[in-house]
C-alpha cells in the first residue's frame, strides 16, 4: 500500500478554497500512485472554527465539501477531518470526526473520543466525545484512525481522560495507525510531539502516519511537522515546518525502517519562522497587503520590522520615526539605518510640536502639578494617533511591537504603543528578543548593533531606562515565566531563590494590568502559555493585587 500525507494550510470558513486544495492534493496523490491520502483534523472548515460550529449553514457547507471530496475519491481512499452531525437527541449536536471516503462515497465515520478543553482548546464546548472504536480493512490492510488528542492518553495515564482509544482499538489487530491532527505550535512542542507519538509506536509496535495542519489562524500558529514512524520507533520522515507539503510513502519501506530523519529544532529559528508565517497568513487571509510600524530605534520595533519585511516584502512595509524632545539622536540614527538596511519606506515626523500643543491645552487644568507618567503617555498616544492616521489614510495595518515582558507588567500605554491590529512579539520575552536579534545578525548586521547593545529605554523622559521602573530583564523574565507558563504561586517562586519583595511586586504588576491585555491586539502564540485565548484571567480579581 502507498499512503500519501497532505500537510496543508487551511483557511477557517473558506470552504471553496479548502476543498479545492484537497482536490488538487488528491490529484497529486493519484499521480504519485498513492492508494490512500490523509488530510488533517477539521480540514474542510479549518481549525479552530469556534462558534461558527453553531451555524447550521456552516455545517451544511462542510458536508458539501465532503460530498465533493467523495466524488474525487473514486480510485483512491481519502481520510479527512470534518464536523459530523450527532444523529441522536442526547449530547452535543456534533462530533469532531474523520471521514473515510472511497469509491465515490462515505465508507465510514470515526469520532474523536478525547476532547481537549484547556489552554487554547475548547472542544467540549462544541463536540460530543466518541465512544465507538472502529478499525477497518482497506486493500488488505487493517487501519486504525485516531484524531489528534486520541493519541495523547497513552496507557490511560493522562488524568484528564478515562479511556485510551488505541488500547480500545488493539483487539481488532490493526496493522497501521493513522492520526489526523490540528496541533498548534509552541517553540518546545515539536520535541514533545515526537516523544508522545514515539511512545505510541513503541507501545503498539505499529507504523504511524501523522498529519498536522500548517499555517496561522490569527494568533494560533500551526507548524506542520507531520511524521511517519516505523514500528521500531524511528522517525522515517518528518515534514518541513511552516509550509505545505505532499509526500507519498510505500508502507513496506516504512515498516522495514531505516535511519532517523528529523528536522532541526533550534529555538530562535522556530520562533522566527513561526512569527514570519503568522504575520504573512494574517495579512493574506484577511486580504491585507501593507503594514505600518513605529520604528523608535529600540530593539522591539527593530525586531518587529525585520519580521514584517520577511513576511510581507520590503515594498509592503512602511515605518514612521517619531522622535520626541526626549529621543536621543542615536535612536533616530539607528532607526534610519535599519530602514535603509531593509530597503523600506520611512518618514521622520517629530512630535515635539504636537506634544507641546497638548501640554498647552492641558496646562490650565494641570497647573503646577509635576511631570509624571501622564506626560510620558501623551507622547506614546501622539505616536499612536499618527500611526492610526496613516493606517486609515493608506490602508496599512498597524503592527504592535510590545514584547511579552512589557505586556505582562503593563509597561505600555493604552491607545499609544499598545495600538495595533496584530501583536507580533507579544509572546516573546525581552531576553528572547535580544537572542532573536543576535541570531538575525549572526551572518550580517541587519539590525544596528547599537540597537541591541544599548540599555532599553522608552525615552519618554530625560535619561530614562527600563530598569528605572522594572527589575533587570534577566531577573524579571524568569519570574514571569514561572508565574505565566508554569503557573507557580509566589511562595513556590520565592522558594526557588528569588527575592521575596521582587516576586510579590512583579506578580502584582501582572495581575493589576489584566485590563490592558484585554484591550490589546491578538498575540501570535509561540509559547506554551501566551496572553489571549489560552490564558483567561478575570480583570477585577484581588489575588496578589
pLDDT (tens digit per residue) in 267-317: 999 999 999 999 999 999 999 999 999 999 999 999 999 999 999 999 999
User: Residue 515 to residues 44, 102, 314, 414, 545: CA-CA distances in angstroms?
Assistant: 36, 52, 35, 10, 13
User: Residue 458 to residues 339, 406, 506: CA-CA distances in angstroms?
Assistant: 19, 11, 19
Taking 80 as the threshold, does the pLDDT of residue 402 lie above it? yes
Average pLDDT over residues 214-241: 97
- What distance in Å separates the CA atoms of residue 408 and residue 429, rounded to the nearest whole number? 9
Helices vs strands, H then E, count in the chain: 17, 19
Give catalytic status of residue 148 as yes or no: yes
The share of the chain scoring above pLDDT 70, in percent, equals 100
**Per-residue model confidence (pLDDT) at position 461:** 82
Extract the C-alpha cell encoding 302.
Answer: 527593530
Q: Which of 4, 38, 148, 419 is catalytic?
A: 148
Q: Which of 21, 112, 285, 430 is catalytic?
A: 112
Extract the C-alpha cell encoding 463.
Answer: 535619561
Taking 90 as the threshold, does the pLDDT of residue 340 lie above it? yes
- Strand residue runs (E) in 243-381: 245-250, 291-294, 317-321, 345-348
Residues in the chain: 545
Taking 90 as the threshold, does the pLDDT of residue 328 lie above it? no
- Strand residue runs (E) in 360-493: 397-400, 422-423
Average pLDDT over residues 509-531: 96
Catalogue all structural domains in the chain, each as residue range(s) with its CATH number: 2-265 (3.60.110.10), 274-470+512-517 (3.40.50.620)
**Per-residue model confidence (pLDDT) at position 464:** 82
Cβ neighbors of 410 (< 8 A, separation 6 or more) are 509, 512, 513, 516
Rounded to the nearest 10°, the torsion over CA 58, 69, 8, 252 is 140
**Per-residue model confidence (pLDDT) at position 7:** 98
Q: Work out the pLDDT band at 364, boundaries 50, 70, 90.
A: very high
Of 168-177, 223-232, 325-334, least confident by mean pLDDT is 325-334
**Per-residue model confidence (pLDDT) at position 466:** 80
pLDDT digits (tens, 9 = 90+) for 376-393: 999 999 999 999 999 999
CB under 8 A, 24+ apart: contacts of 486-495: 487/529, 490/544
Q: Work out the pLDDT band at 468, boundaries 50, 70, 90.
A: confident
DSSP string, 212-225: --EEEETTEEEEB-
- Residue 58 CB: number of other CB atoms within 10 A? 17
Residue 253: exposed, middle, or buried by beta-carbon count in 10 A (0-12, 13-18, 19+)?
A: middle
Give catalytic status of residue 112 as yes or no: yes
Residue 116: exposed, middle, or buried by beta-carbon count in 10 A (0-12, 13-18, 19+)?
A: middle
pLDDT digits (tens, 9 = 90+) for 122-160: 999 999 999 999 899 999 999 999 999 999 999 888 888
CB 158 within 8 A of CB 171: no
State phi, psi for 510 to the nearest 5 degrees. -60, -45
Scan for cell 536579534, then name that residue. 437
Q: Which of 4, 21, 38, 41 is catalytic?
A: 41
**Per-residue model confidence (pLDDT) at position 283:** 98
CB 296 within 8 A of CB 330: no
Taking 80 as the threshold, does the pLDDT of residue 545 lie above it? no
Among residues 389, 409, 429, 403, the alpha carbon closest in space to that of 298 is found at 403
Among residues 216, 213, 253, 220, the alpha carbon closest in space to that of 237 is found at 253
Average pLDDT over residues 407-432: 96
- What distance in Å separates the CA atoms of residue 521 and residue 428, rounded to the nearest whole number? 15
pLDDT digits (tens, 9 = 90+) for 44-79: 999 999 999 999 999 999 999 999 999 999 999 999
Give catalytic status of residue 486 as yes or no: no
Q: Work out the pLDDT band at 329, boundaries 50, 70, 90.
A: confident
User: Residue 145 to residues 66, 107, 512: CA-CA distances in angstroms?
Assistant: 17, 13, 46
Rounded to the nearest 10°, the torsion over CA 340, 341, 343, 345 is -40
- The secondary structure of residue 456, as a DSSP letter, is P
**Per-residue model confidence (pLDDT) at position 482:** 98
Q: Work out the pLDDT band at 465, boundaries 50, 70, 90.
A: confident
Cβ neighbors of 56 (< 8 A, separation 6 or more) are none
Extract the C-alpha cell encoding 161.
Answer: 481522560
**Per-residue model confidence (pLDDT) at position 16:** 98
Tell me the pLDDT of the chain averaged across its residues: 96
- What distance in Å separates the CA atoms of residue 228 and residue 178, rounded to the nearest whole number? 10
**Per-residue model confidence (pLDDT) at position 399:** 98
pLDDT digits (tens, 9 = 90+) for 97-129: 999 999 999 999 999 999 999 999 999 999 999
CB 178 within 8 A of CB 146: yes
CB 404 within 8 A of CB 502: no
Amino acid at each position: 500500500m502507498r499512503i500519501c500525507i497532505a500537510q496543508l494550510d487551511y483557511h477557517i470558513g473558506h470552504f471553496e478554497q479548502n476543498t479545492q486544495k484537497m482536490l488538487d492534493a488528491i490529484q497529486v496523490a493519484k499521480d504519485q500512485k498513492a492508494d490512500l491520502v490523509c488530510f488533517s483534523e477539521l480540514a474542510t472548515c479549518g481549525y479552530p472554527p469556534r462558534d461558527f460550529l453553531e451555524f447550521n449553514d456552516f455545517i451544511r457547507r462542510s458536508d458539501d465539501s465532503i460530498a465533493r471530496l467523495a466524488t474525487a475519491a473514486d480510485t483512491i481512499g481519502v481520510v479527512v477531518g470534518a464536523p459530523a452531525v450527532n444523529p441522536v437527541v442526547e449530547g452535543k449536536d456534533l462530533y469532531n470526526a474523520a471521514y473515510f471516503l472511497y469509491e465515490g462515497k462515505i465508507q465510514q465515520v470515526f469520532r474523536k473520543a478525547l476532547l481537549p478543553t484547556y489552554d487554547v482548546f475548547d472542544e467540549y464546548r462544541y463536540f460530543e466525545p466518541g465512544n465507538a472504536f472502529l478499525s477497518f480493512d482497506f486493500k488488505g490492510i487493517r487501519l486504525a484512525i485516531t484524531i489528534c488528542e486520541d493519541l495523547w492518553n497513552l496507557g490511560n495515564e493522562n488524568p484528564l481522560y478515562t479511556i485510551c482509544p488505541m488500547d480500545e482499538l488493539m483487539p481488532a489487530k490493526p496493522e497501521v495507525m493513522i492520526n489526523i491532527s490540528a496541533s498548534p505550535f509552541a517553540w518546545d512542542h515539536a520535541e514533545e510531539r515526537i516523544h508522545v507519538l514515539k511512545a505510541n509506536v513503541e507501545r503498539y509496535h505499529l507504523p504511524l502516519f501523522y498529519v498536522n495542519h500548517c499555517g496561522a489562524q490569527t494568533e494560533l500558529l500551526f507548524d506542520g511537522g507531520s511524521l511517519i514512524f516505523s514500528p521500531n520507533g524511528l522517525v522515517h520522515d518528518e515534514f518541513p515546518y511552516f509550509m505545505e507539503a505532499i509526500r507519498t510513502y510505500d508502507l513496506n519501506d516504512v515498516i522495514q525502517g531505516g535511519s532517523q530523519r528529523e528536522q532541526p529544532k533550534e529555538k530562535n529559528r522556530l520562533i522566527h519562522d513561526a512569527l514570519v508565517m503568522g504575520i504573512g497568513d494574517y495579512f493574506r487571509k484577511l486580504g491585507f497587503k501593507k503594514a505600518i510600524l513605529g520604528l523608535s530605534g529600540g530593539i522591539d520595533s527593530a525586531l518587529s520590522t525585520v519580521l514584517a519585511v520577511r513576511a510581507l516584502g520590503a515594498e509592503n512595509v512602511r515605518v514612521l520615526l517619531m522622535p520626541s524632545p526626549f529621543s536621543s539622536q542615536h535612536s533616530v540614527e539607528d532607526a534610519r539605518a535599519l530602514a535603509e538596511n531593509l530597503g523600506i519606506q520611512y518618514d521622520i515626523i517629530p512630535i515635539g510640536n504636537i506634544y507641546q500643543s497638548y501640554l498647552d491645552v492641558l496646562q490650565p487644568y494641570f497647573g503646577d502639578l509635576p511631570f509624571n507618567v501622564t506626560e510620558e503617555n501623551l507622547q506614546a498616544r501622539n505616536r499612536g494617533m499618527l500611526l492610526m492616521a496613516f493606517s486609515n489614510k493608506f490602508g496599512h495595518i498597524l503592527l504592535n511591537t510590545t514584547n511579552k515582558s512589557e505586556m505582562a507588567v503593563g509597561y505600555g500605554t493604552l491607545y499609544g504603543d499598545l495600538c495595533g491590529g496584530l501583536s507580533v512579539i507579544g509572546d516573546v520575552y525581552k531576553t528572547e528578543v535580544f537572542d532573536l536579534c543576535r541570531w538575525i545578525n549572526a551572518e550580517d548586521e541587519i539590525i544596528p548593533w547599537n540597537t541591541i547593545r544599548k540599555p532599553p529605554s522608552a525615552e519618554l523622559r530625560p535619561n530614562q531606562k527600563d530598569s528605572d521602573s522594572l527589575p533587570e530583564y534577566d531577573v524579571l523574565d524568569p519570574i514571569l515565566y514561572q508565574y505565566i507558563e508554569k503557573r507557580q504561586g509566589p511562595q513556590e517562586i520565592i522558594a526557588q531563590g528569588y527575592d521575596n519583595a521582587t516576586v510579590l511586586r512583579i506578580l502584582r504588576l501582572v495581575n493589576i494590568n489584566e485590563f490592558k491585555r484585554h484591550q490589546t491586539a491578538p498575540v501570535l502564540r509561540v509559547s506554551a502559555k501566551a496572553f489571549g485565548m489560552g490564558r483567561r484571567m478575570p480583570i477585577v480579581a484581588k489575588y496578589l493585587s
